[in-house]
Amino acid sequence: MPRLPDAFATLLGHSPEGVWSAPGRVNLIGEHTDYNGGLALPIALPHRTRCAASPRDDDLLRIHSLQDDSSVEVLIDDVADGHPAGWTAYVAGVVWALRRAGYAVRGLDVVVDGRVPLGAGLSSSAALECSVAAAVSDLFGLGLLGFPEGRDVLAAACQRAENDIAGAPTGGMDQAAAMHCTERHALRLDCRDGTHEQVPFDLSAHDAVLLVTDTRASHALADGQYGARRAACEQAAEILGVETLREVVGQPLDETLARLPDDVLRRRTRHVVTEIERVDEVVGLLREGDLAGVGRTFVASHESLRDDYEVSCTELDLVVDTALAHGALGSRMTGGGFGGSAISLVPTAEVDRVSEAIEAAFADARLTAPSSFAVTAAGPAARD
Ligand code: GLA
């Protein structure tokens, strides 16, 4: 594959002004809490999406990718819900959202090189959005990359692109992770007020690794299941008379649940409340260096997502059960669920044994071969 700037020159007939990139993420814990005003704890992955770009003095967006032959030309003012369709919505949507937020942005020539596995629940879409947002900020002199509140503005525009143009009703965790995560740290993200805090996360000091397993089971957030979970949470909050389920964290859980009319709403609410509590539990355990405790909390999170929130699937459960049976300290699905990836906390000496056991279990079950790889906490969106 040619170097990205060379590919840009071939496709668009001139050199790019620069290259920007942003990471995918895994969430350590705090799943399906972001749209409930809750807490999450993502790390940025070493896998990044890069985009080469240059500004135009008209309103045309010319969008190409090294991974996909389809390319799109669209005027910023023609960008709308579902238009353009497919992956280019994430690019065009960001420019559209920044203009809607009042920034003087113009057209763009852009070529994307996405190295975050697609459809794996590792936020390839947020990586794409945030790399483009970083490019737009620099190319049109917005200066938003240089300070945390500016990065919040970019993350919000990226979320808007995803919600309003790509049609995925996601919360803001993935974009916040891509904009704010730093190397060797997890990001404790408070989605009620948008504040965040860096929590040291360097497993090498503990002879352990974080193993990501992409189950290769299909995963799509724009389909109905994610939206249905979100709607159930909103319904429960309305019945409880609160703005978000975050407001009932810390109240006696049994009493809260008794005020809900049916079992499904009770289980959805129990997941959200206990999951928000687990985030600070894990932050405390990480600070104490208690990895066995972190592992146990991962398992509690997975069980809650599987049984109460019902967003796991056969493949994710198989990774978790197999990892735990072969020496992992903890394991859980990560991201939206219904496929995608799981993470396992594994003593370094056991990593090969765990990944081989997962591979064998998938082969035995005649499932598509999964892909497992160790990750460390990487850095945020930046100019390369
Ligand atoms: C997806 C969404 C996030 C978040 C997670 C679940 O990754 O994009 O906003 O809701 O699912 O924690």
Domain match, 191 and 299 both? no
Q: What is the CATH number of the domain that holds 345?
A: 3.30.70.890
**209 and 180 housed in the same domain:** no
The Å distance, Cα 11 to ligand 1 centre, comes to 34
Mean pLDDT (the chain) is 96
Is 380 within a domain?
no
Q: Look at residues 178, 200, 222 and tell me which one is the last residue of a structural domain.
A: 200
Q: What is the pLDDT of residue 7?
A: 95
The residue among 213, 209, 208, 218 whose CA lies nearest residue 360 is 213
- If asked whether residues 145 and 292 sit together in one domain, one would say no
- 183-226 confidence digits (pLDDT tens): 999 999 999 999 999 999 999 999 999 999 999 997 665 468 99
| DSSP E strands, 202-250 | 208-214
Q: Say if 191 falls within a structural domain.
A: yes
* Alpha-carbon gap, residue 84 to 272, rounded angstroms: 34
Using the mean position of ligand 1's atoms as its centre, give its distance from the Cα of residue 287 in Å: 25
Which CATH number belongs to the domain containing residue 129 in this structure? Answer: 3.30.230.10
In whole angstroms, give the CA distance from residue 196 to residue 194: 7
Q: Rounded mean pLDDT of 136-145?
A: 98
360 located within any domain: yes
Q: What is the mean pLDDT of residues 303-330?
A: 97
Range of the domain at 236: 203-375
Same domain, 236 and 366: yes
d(CA 347, CA 107): 49
In the block, tokens 């007020």 appear at 193
Supply the residue whose CA is at minimum distance from atom 9 of ligand 1: 171
For the chain, strand residue ranges (E) read: 18-27, 39-40, 42-55, 60-65, 72-75, 108-114, 185-190, 195-200, 208-214, 330-334, 341-347, 371-375, 382-383
Pocket (CB within 6 angstroms of ligand 1):
27, 31-32, 34-35, 170-171, 173-174, 221, 335-336
Statement: residue 283 has pLDDT above 70: yes
Whole-number pLDDT of residue 221: 58
Q: For residue 383, is it within any domain?
A: no
**CB-based burial label for 211 (10 Å; 0-12, 13-18, 19+):** buried
Domain count for the chain: 2
Average pLDDT value for residue range 15-23: 98
Residues identified as active-site: 174
Least confident range of 65-69, 213-217, 302-306: 65-69
- Residue 384 resides in a domain: no
The verdict on 134 and 182 lying in the same domain is yes
Q: Which of 123, 174, 179, 301 best tests ligand 1's pocket when mutated (most atoms within 8 Å of CB)? A: 174
**Residue 53's beta-bridge partner residues?**
18, 110
Q: Backbone phi, then psi, for 244, in 5-degree steps?
A: -140, 165
For residue 12, pLDDT beyond 60: yes
Tell whether 231 and 344 lie within a shared domain: yes
- Shared domain check, 115 and 100: yes
Atom of ligand 1 nearest to the CA of 32: 12
Best mutation site among 43, 159, 170 for ligand 1 pocket (most ligand atoms within 8 Å of CB): 170
Residue 1 binned pLDDT confidence (cut-offs 50, 70, 90): low
For residues 303 and 279, membership in a common domain is answered with yes
- Domain end, chosen from 200, 220, 236, is at 200
Distance 4 CA to ligand 1 centre (A): 30
Average pLDDT of the segment spanning 28-57: 98
| Centroid of ligand 1 to alpha carbon of 169 (angstroms) | 9
Query: Is position 230 within any domain?
Result: yes
For residues 182 and 295, state if they share a domain: no
Pocket test for ligand 1, best of 27, 34, 233 (most atoms within 8 A of CB): 34
Percent of the chain with pLDDT over 70: 98
My answer on whether 165 and 305 are in the same domain is no
pLDDT (0 to 100) of residue 70: 82
pLDDT of residue 129 exceeding 70, the answer is yes
Residue 381 lies in a domain: no
Same domain as 353, residue 307: yes
Q: Which atom of ligand 1 is nearest to the CA of 162?
A: 8
Question: What would the pLDDT profile of 69-126 be if each residue is shown by its tens digit?
Answer: 889 999 999 999 999 999 999 999 999 999 999 999 999 999 999 999 998 999 999 9
Counting atoms of ligand 1 from 1, which one is nearest the CA of 172? Answer: 9
Is the pLDDT at 361 greater than 70? The verdict is yes
What separation in Å is there between the alpha carbon of 83 and the centre of ligand 1?
Answer: 23
Q: Domain boundary residue among 153, 182, 200?
A: 200
Residue 382 lies in a domain: no
Are 262 and 121 in a shared domain? no
The predicted model scores a pTM of 0.97
Measured from the Cα of 40, ligand 1's closest atom is 12
